[in-house]
Amino acid sequence: MSTSVAPLEMVDTDRYPLTDPDSPEWRVIVARTRADLADVGCSVLADFIRPELHDVLREECAALEPHAYTKIEKVNAYNTAIDAPLPEDHPGRTIMERGNAFVARDHIPASSLISRLYTSPVFQRFVADCFGLPELHELADPLAGLTLNVIAPGRAHPWHFDTNSYTVSMLTQAADDGGTFEYCPGIRSATDENFPAVRAVLDGGSTHPVQRLSLRPGDLQLFQGRFALHRVSTVRGEVARHSAIFAYSERPGVIGSAERTRQLFGRVLPAHLAGRTDRGDELLD
């Protein structure tokens, strides 16, 4: 079914007028989204995908689950090597269990709803405008960029930061229970890691506000994940939590580090071994 659905046909354009970027309706949506991002670092556009396509969205992504690289690993919030020498009080010394799995981009058909949306120039223009940018670029990473995050019952995605500055995601299958998205908006900046605040959150004694979202399949989430510590709580019940991750960058050519790529996908390609593209800051990965 999805092969006949164009990007704009899958979006509820009555609510989200992607076909008319010069319209007052576009400006209202963009202004509201920018205000949310400025206030809490996140904005949710409910029912972005037309309700009649929610089953197609779920079925397509559920069919991808067998391709997910699943390996329970010990990680830190920066997804750097956990045996690296660090000061005693460094938050990177807090080790957590990562139980989520990722389907890499090279396993996602170009005909799928999420792939058509991710590569749509009209959608990219809309997302860029919402982030207040002249343009955004798909990641050059052959495995990342567009991925499916799978969290099986009993598993969680622990506290972490995103590699990319501008993350867009969409829940495609909700868990029976749990699987709540939690985040600490603006806990670090491009020039300040703010290690004490991050360590306090990881230790469970922070006063930094933690936001919690109840997302539904088909909702579009725009998120400043490079600067917000975030996690997905343990999934309960019998159904896995699936979410499509649309990762964009302000700079072209961004590729993930070899260390993080091995963690997420269990493999690296020559592009990852050639060196990491500058992301415009000196933050840990």
In the numeric block, which tokens belong to residue 214? 């109840």
Query: What confidence tens digit (pLDDT) does each residue in 182-237 have?
Result: 999 999 999 999 999 999 999 987 777 889 998 999 999 999 999 999 999 999 99
pLDDT at 44: 97
pLDDT over 70 (residue 3): no
pLDDT at 126: 96
Instruction: Report how far residue 270's alpha carbon sits from residue 255's, in angstroms, rounded to the nearest whole number.
Output: 11
pLDDT over 70 (residue 2): no
CA angle (129, 180, 160) in 5-degree steps: 70
pLDDT over 60 (residue 1): no
104, 150 Cβ separation under 8 angstroms: no
Distance of CA 134 to the CA centre of its chain: 21
Residue 254 carries which side chain, given as an amino acid letter? Answer: V
pLDDT at 277: 57
Percent of the chain residues topping a pLDDT of 70: 94
Query: What is the mean predicted confidence (pLDDT) over 156-178?
Result: 92
Query: What confidence tens digit (pLDDT) does each residue in 44-88 have?
Result: 999 999 999 999 999 999 999 999 998 888 999 998 888 889 999
Instruction: Report how far residue 280's alpha carbon sits from residue 18's, in angstroms, rounded to the nearest whole number.
Output: 29
CA angle (221, 227, 232) in 5-degree steps: 50
pLDDT at 162: 87
**Domains, the chain:** 24-268 (2.60.120.620)
User: Which residues, listed in sequence order, are joined to residue 182 by a DSSP beta bridge?
Assistant: 212, 231
Query: What is the mean predicted confidence (pLDDT) over 103-127?
Result: 95
pLDDT over 90 (residue 32): yes
Percent of the chain residues topping a pLDDT of 90: 72
Query: What is the mean predicted confidence (pLDDT) over 12-18?
Result: 92
